[in-house]
Amino acid sequence: MKKIILFIFLFHGIVHGQNNSLKSLDELVNKEEPGWDLVKEWIAEATNPIEILEKDTLRAKNSLIQTQVTTRSPMGAIIYETGGIFVDNGWLRILGSGNPKLNRSLPDWNKGKTFENFGDQPMIYLIADDIVGGFFGINGGVLGEDVGKIYYFAPDTLKWEPMNMGYSEFIWWTFVGNLSDFYSNVRWKGWENDIKSLDGNKGISFFPYLWTKHDDVNQLSRKAIPIEEMWQLNQNFVKQLNNNN
């Protein structure tokens, strides 16, 4: 995986406890070895459709400070240089600093879900999601001993599934990986046209739900709902099912 091993994901300030002394913007912006140069190389080599969402400069600066990762890392670079990234015509959304098409920054999206206040240690750090209500998150320690690795919350199982890759590897995978194969059981006929009118603030909800028994996803009814609602709905289902077991 080209050059990914050259960058170590700077996750210490996120998962290894609170940091009461937040680094300033000047400390976080790396001008000598900007991670964005590497991300641009990956974009140029992408085999999946990629759309870079324009950033708002002030929002990008605030998001970087709130996240406390340097722009030497791919995560810091994506936050500081983009409002987010759409992959495969918007099926998959990588969080950045926010954009009208993806009106949620990475730190704001996590606040109240995986931590209460900026500087807190997150249980899981949500970094991306998809149109069917699947969520990608970095393990903060509650999912296993592989702290810093990516897990996928699958809407068809309601479980966090290990992907055995770090953040940099994950970004590369979204750009060049076989997403059709990964999503083969939840993609319906004509999904490309159905999601054209949707931005990254919404997703497609199915009924009966994806995690219920069904033979063909094409037989399920679909409607667009806010992605926030999809997150809350699925987390409530997890709690209910756990309480019933």
185: exposed, middle or buried (Cβ count in 10 Å: 0-12, 13-18, 19+)? exposed
pTM: 0.91
The domains of the chain are located at 4-178
**Rounded Cα gap, residues 219 and 79, in angstroms:** 38
Q: Mind listing the pLDDT tens digit of every residue in the chain (245 residues)?
A: 444 433 334 444 454 444 457 899 999 999 889 999 999 999 999 999 999 999 999 999 999 999 999 999 999 999 999 999 999 999 999 999 999 999 999 999 999 999 998 878 899 999 999 999 999 999 999 999 999 999 999 999 999 999 999 999 999 999 999 999 999 999 999 999 999 989 999 999 999 999 999 999 999 999 999 999 999 999 999 999 888 76
Give the class (CATH, top level) of 4-178.
alpha beta
